[in-house]
């Protein structure tokens, strides 16, 4: 399909720079795929729209403070954004006047004036990325907690603030490794989760570490020519068994496009998952036969983005563009800190 088919006009003032408080006071557009109608509500009212006995699948990844502002021995500045790694060895993209070389030492001074031990640039860099060795044993989480910054998306045109460490994280975040938030989950409060459980719905989790590729614009004219980024995921055996044994009448609701990509990427048949870990580069565009999910809770996405293509595959391109145009007219807030949409499952 032509990428331009997924374009729409978005006024810049509708891009949310900060979240609403409380989380579940954001607006909610409910999309009825059968009638093509849209209902306007608040996210706190989500339980009223869920089908009986739904299974909601959440992404429990945790955003790490993956942006580091470092200084070389020469005084040159290097901005890092960690992309992947384990232990104290990580890959990073960078911004600098000159490419860091193997052997360079990079130090960080945090907002409180504390200076880090140096980070060493290792051989083996590739393309836009460099390899780094951090001055710590084992995982680097403590180092990042002291010296790192939350990597806000490029369309949020402001520096990160202390409050973003809480607001750009879901309340159920558990497994560290994401460099972007699974933003559909940002609307949930502990109280709302309790309400959902109390009404007979099932809450399940998986992990997909959202990477920087989620913000990569589509630069080709045809979707067939786009190379999708890859992201690491984990599907628990308990989730595989839950979905396989669920009554066919129970609808499976993906909380976010990241959960949807993990579920569909790990699908080996209708309501059949391969449990375990792996990487998925699944690119979901219309037409697509969803094998796991029936409905989707999501935010409002960028024009011509792969995520808009994904939601269009579920609800149809015409329905989505109509919904987005109505959202613009009604001044919904867009993107990571914006409002939400619930694409309801079909009946039956």
**How far lies 244's CA from each of 193, 248, 276, 286, in Å?**
23, 9, 15, 26
State pLDDT tens for residues 222-259.
999 999 999 999 999 999 999 999 999 999 999 999 99
In this prediction, residue 124 carries a pLDDT of: 81
pLDDT of residue 66 exceeding 80:
yes
Number of domains making up the chain: 2
User: Does residue 237 form part of some domain?
Assistant: yes
Q: Evaluate if residue 128 carries a pLDDT over 90.
A: no
Long-range interactions of 16-19: CB distance < 8 A, separation 24+: 16/156, 16/333, 16/334, 16/335, 16/336, 16/337, 16/338, 16/339, 17/156, 17/157, 17/158, 17/337, 18/167, 18/337, 19/167, 19/186, 19/337
Query: Residue 298 falls within a domain, yes or no?
Result: yes
Let me know whether 48 and 82 are in one domain: no
Q: What is the pLDDT of residue 111?
A: 86
Q: Is residue 112 part of a domain?
A: yes
154 falls within a domain: no
CA 11 – CA 192 distance, rounded (Å):
31
Which domain CATH number covers 249? 3.40.1780.10
Same domain, 51 and 75: no
Question: What pLDDT was estimated at residue 16?
Answer: 98
Same domain as 191, residue 139? no
Same domain, 71 and 92: yes
106 and 44 inside one domain:
no
Compute the mean pLDDT over every residue in the chain, rounded to the nearest whole number.
96
Residue range 101-112, pLDDT digits in tens? 999 999 999 988
Contact yes or no for 224/243 (Cβ under 8 A): no
Residues 223 and 289 occupy one common structural domain: yes
Query: Domain of 112?
Result: 67-147
Given a cut of 80, whether residue 167 has pLDDT beyond it is yes
Cβ-based burial of 159 (10 A; exposed 0-12, middle 13-18, buried ≥19): exposed
pLDDT at 212 over 90: no
83 and 29 within one domain: no
141 or 113, greater pLDDT: 141
| pLDDT tens for each residue of 287-316 | 999 999 999 999 999 999 999 999 999 999
Inside any domain, residue 127: yes
Confidence at residue 138, expressed as pLDDT on a 0 to 100 scale: 87
pLDDT score recorded for residue 348: 75
**Among residues of the chain, what percentage have pLDDT more than 90?**
93
In a domain, 312, yes or no: yes
- Kindly tell me the burial class for residue 322, based on how many C-beta atoms sit within 10 Å of its own C-beta (0-12, 13-18, 19 or more): middle
Q: What is the pLDDT of residues 10-49, one digit of tens each?
A: 999 999 999 999 999 999 999 999 999 999 999 999 999 9
CATH code: domain of residue 127: 2.40.10
Q: Are residue 238 and residue 282 in the same domain, yes or no?
A: yes
Instruction: For residues 346 and 251, give the distance between their C-alpha atoms in angstroms, rounded to a whole number.
Output: 9
Q: Check residue 177 and give left, alpha or beta (phi > 0: left; psi -120 to 50: alpha).
A: left
- Mean pLDDT on 99-122: 94
Predicted pLDDT at 214: 81
- Same domain for 216 and 336, yes or no, is yes
Q: Do 188 and 134 fall within a single domain?
A: no
Q: Residue 127: is its pLDDT beyond 80?
A: no
Residue 216 pLDDT grade (very low, low, confident, very high; cuts 50, 70, 90): confident
- Looking at the fold, whether 88 and 36 belong to one and the same domain comes out as no
Looking at the structure, do residues 111 and 198 belong to the same domain, yes or no? Answer: no
């Amino acid at each position: 399909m032509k990428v331009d088919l997924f374009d729409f006009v978005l006024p810049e003032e509708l891009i949310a720079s900060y979240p609403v408080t409380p989380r579940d006071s954001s607006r909610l557009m409910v999309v009825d795929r059968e009638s093509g109608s849209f209902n306007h509500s608040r996210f706190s009212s989500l339980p009223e729209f869920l089908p009986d006995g739904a299974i909601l699948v959440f992404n429990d990844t945790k955003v790490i403070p993956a942006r580091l502002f470092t200084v070389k021995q020469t005084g040159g500045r290097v901005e890092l954004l960690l992309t992947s790694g384990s232990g104290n060895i990580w890959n990073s993209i960078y911004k600098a006047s000159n490419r860091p070389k193997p052997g360079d030492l990079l130090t960080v001074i945090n907002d409180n004036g504390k200076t880090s031990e140096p980070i060493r640039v290792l051989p083996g860099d590739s393309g836009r990325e460099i390899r780094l060795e951090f001055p710590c044993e084992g995982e680097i989480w403590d180092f990042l907690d002291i010296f790192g910054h939350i990597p806000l998306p490029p369309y949020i045109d402001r520096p990160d603030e202390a409050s973003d460490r809480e607001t750009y994280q879901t309340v159920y975040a558990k497994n560290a490794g994401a460099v972007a938030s699974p933003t559909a989950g940002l609307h949930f409060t502990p109280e709302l989760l309790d309400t959902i459980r109390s009404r007979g719905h099932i809450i399940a989790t998986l992990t997909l570490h959202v990477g920087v590729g989620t913000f990569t614009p589509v630069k080709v004219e045809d979707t067939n020519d786009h190379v999708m980024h890859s992201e690491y995921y984990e599907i628990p055996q308990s989730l595989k068994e839950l979905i396989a044994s669920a009554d066919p009448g129970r609808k499976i609701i993906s909380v976010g496009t990241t959960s949807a990509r993990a579920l569909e990427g790990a699908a080996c048949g209708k309501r059949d998952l391969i449990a375990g870990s792996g990487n998925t580069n699944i690119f979901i565009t219309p037409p697509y036969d969803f094998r796991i999910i029936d409905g989707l809770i999501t935010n409002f996405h960028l024009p011509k983005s792969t995520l808009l293509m994904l939601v269009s595959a579920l609800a149809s391109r015409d329905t989505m563009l109509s919904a987005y145009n109505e959202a613009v007219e009604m001044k919904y807030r867009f993107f990571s800190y914006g409002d939400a949409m619930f694409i309801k499952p079909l009946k039956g």
